[in-house]
Amino acid sequence: MGNGVEQGLDLWVERLVKENMPIFSRTVQCIAGTTTRENSSLSELAWAILEDPPLTVQVIRLANSTYYNPYSTRISTVSRAVLRLGFNVIKGICLSIGLVETVLSGLHKNKLGLEVARAFHAAVQARRIAILKNLPGPEEIFIAALLSRIGKIAFWCSAGQVGTDIESAMPDCENEDQAEVKVLGFKLERLTQRLNQEWKLSDLLESSFRDNHGTDPRIRSIKLGCAVAQASEEGWDCHRVKKIIKEAADFMNLSEQETTETLHESAGAAAEITASYGGTESSRLIPVPESQKAPPPSPVQTLEKSARDLLGGKGSRLEEQEVRAEPPPLWPAQGTEIKHHYPKPDPGLQLCSLRDLSSLVTSKKADLNMVLSIVLEGIYHGIGMDSVLFMVLAPDRKHFQGRYALGWTDKVHVQNVRIGAESEVPNVFGYVLKNRNPIWVTEKPDNSIKPLLTQELSVITGSGPFFAMPVAIKGTIIGVVYSDRNQSRRNLDEESFENFVFFGRQANMSLDALSAI
């Protein structure tokens, strides 16, 4: 019997891991598996997001929300979001986005919506408990609690008829776990554990499976958060919730009244946060106490608000947007074609990127890849280019290899781009390497440049104008940055080239400073 159960569990794990399972996009799966063991994880995280335009938009939008940015300090770039909010906060944002997107897939959308609601509720409760207990890493606790139902969410994404069988079995069972065992032979909690191991999502979540009694305070906060989320569905006055409140009060050294208020507030916050991620239906499934529900506006208030909105006066939507300092969207709304949208020049964003570069050098988070992410993002979004590419010079210094790109239509192609640096047929990149100066190749290049626009180079440049400049550390060139506006057919201009060159100089100065640390 036991072997049959294990085989059944193995089959589900294989199905969800190896097939094209819709729970996370490839980008979010990559982010989910990253760890904070090395500083380079910050740059890996930034690049993973930057290479996914829709995710970039959502991360920047949420990084500017009241929950993550209560002081309304504008965050305009992914690099700034990663540096300011930190690894675990951004990772949590990406995973949260991925979970909300699952509700749109599969046959069992109602069940998926409920599981996502439970995950968000548990995560917010666990984080709040950890903060009040003054535990380290509350964001890591948030992530572990958020993923505590990942097996259930993954299952209901692809459940099909088996899911229908479980739902049919529920009326004759005491609880969901019993229905799962009756149909599958195992609890879906076991699937959570296996998927967490396969996808390397959370070490803390893995530890929670071994620490059943919550002897570790961080794991205890996760278990309490999950217990509150589940029990509150029976009503905030039920016996189970009262028992959990007493346990949580003892754990946090608070009175039961203070603990009740805290858990009630967290439930309200969880509903708001879930809605802010686009999970409106799931947010309605979070049991919010009456004390946390906003009273309906009176007719007078509604009329006054409508008048202010129409007139654009004090308190209008326009003013609220200015106070929140929300960045303008970098891409159009979902459903439109991203390839037809190109960043416009934004001097303010350029300045933000340069400030981030300066701050990075003085921090302990600095590394080559993080410098490059800030520089390329500043060029792409700040100067307003169609594409930007960094090509690293190989150790033999005989060819350039594609490394990072923004606005590129084929990411796989970027990684495979290989251009000669010292070849029998000279090209512009080799020219930049030799002369060590930036270059602006115009629409009609002069006779000295024309022979350098080789067939090999046209794979990248096409036939349009472009900018290129060397990146160096203490005088030793390590690569070349290339940028153009060929897709939009917008003209390159003197100001754009000057800003491009300035970013290159700042990059070189930053890398020089880092090498001296």
Question: How many Cα atoms occupy the beta-carbon half-sphere of 256 within 13 Å?
Answer: 7
Number of Cβ within 10 Å of residue 34's Cβ equals: 18
pTM above 0.85, yes or no: no
pLDDT on residue 292:
82
Instruction: Answer whether residue 34 shows pLDDT above 80.
Output: no
> CB–CB of 507/371 below 8 Å?
yes
Q: What is the pLDDT of residue 345?
A: 93
Structure tokens at 272: 């708001």
Grade residue 317 by pLDDT with cuts at 50, 70 and 90: very low
Residue-level pLDDT at 104? 67
Alpha-carbon distance of 396 to 420, in angstroms, equals 11
- Decide if pLDDT at 258 tops 80: yes
Q: Which residue has the higher pLDDT, 483 or 108?
A: 483
| Type of residue numbered 104 | L
pLDDT in the model for residue 517: 64
Higher pLDDT, 22 or 469: 469
Which DSSP string do the residues of 151-187 spell out, in sequence order?
A: HHHHHHHS-HHHHHHHHHHGGGSSSHHHHHHHHHSS-
Q: pLDDT > 90: what percent of the chain?
A: 46
Q: Report the run of H or E that residue 366 belongs to, with start and end.
A: none
pLDDT tens digit string along 366-418? Answer: 688 889 999 999 999 999 999 999 999 988 888 899 999 998 866 557 777 88
DSSP string, 182-245: HHHSS-HHHHHHHHHHHHT--HHHHHHHH-TT--SHHHHHHHHHHHHHHHGGG-TTSHHHHHHH
Contact 99, 119 (CB under 8 A): yes
Sign of CA dihedral 217, 223, 228, 234: negative
The pLDDT score that the predictor gives to residue 36 is 53
Task: Give, in degrees to the nearest 5, the angle at Cα 508 between 503 and 509.
Answer: 95
Q: Determine the pLDDT at residue 364.
A: 64
pLDDT in tens, 288-299: 998 887 655 444
- Confidence band, pLDDT 50/70/90 cuts, at residue 7: confident
Give CA–CA dist 157/73, Å, rounded. Answer: 37
Gyration radius from the chain CA atoms: 26
Contact 432, 480 (CB under 8 A): yes
Amino acid 300: pLDDT:
44
| Residue 282 vs residue 314, higher pLDDT | 282
What are the tens digits of pLDDT across the range 58-109?
999 999 888 888 877 788 889 889 888 888 899 999 989 888 888 766 678 8
Share of the chain above pLDDT 70, in %: 85
- The tokens describing 445, both together, are 């290049």
Banded pLDDT at 8 (limits 50, 70, 90)? confident
Reading the block at residue 97, the tokens are 């986005």
pLDDT above 60 (res 150): yes
Nearest-angstrom CA–CA distance, 35 and 20? 24
* Phi then psi dihedrals of residue 215, to 5 deg: -70, -30
Burial (CB count within 10 angstroms: exposed 0-12, middle 13-18, buried 19+), residue 516: exposed
Cα–Cα distance measured from residue 365 to residue 86, given in angstroms and rounded to the nearest whole number: 10
Distance from C-alpha of 187 to C-alpha of 173, rounded to nearest angstrom: 13
Residue 68 pLDDT = 86
**Which SS3 state, helix, strand or coil, does residue 444 take?**
coil
Instruction: Find the mean pLDDT for residues 172-182.
Output: 91
Most confident among 16-25, 157-166, 289-298 (mean pLDDT): 157-166
Would you say residue 302 has pLDDT above 80? Answer: no
What was the pLDDT predicted at 328? Answer: 36
| Long-range CB contact pairs, 350-353, < 8 A, 24+ | 350/378, 350/382, 350/383, 350/499, 350/503, 352/74, 352/76, 352/77, 352/80, 352/382, 353/77, 353/79, 353/80, 353/377, 353/378, 353/382, 353/503
* Mean pLDDT, the chain, integer: 83
Place of tokens 């796989």: 412
In this predicted model, which residue has the larger pLDDT, 236 or 356?
A: 236
Residue 304 has pLDDT above 60, yes or no: no
What are the start-end ranges of the H helices in 19-74?
A: 26-32, 40-50, 53-63
Any idea which of 21-35, 112-126, 435-449 has the lowest mean pLDDT? Answer: 21-35
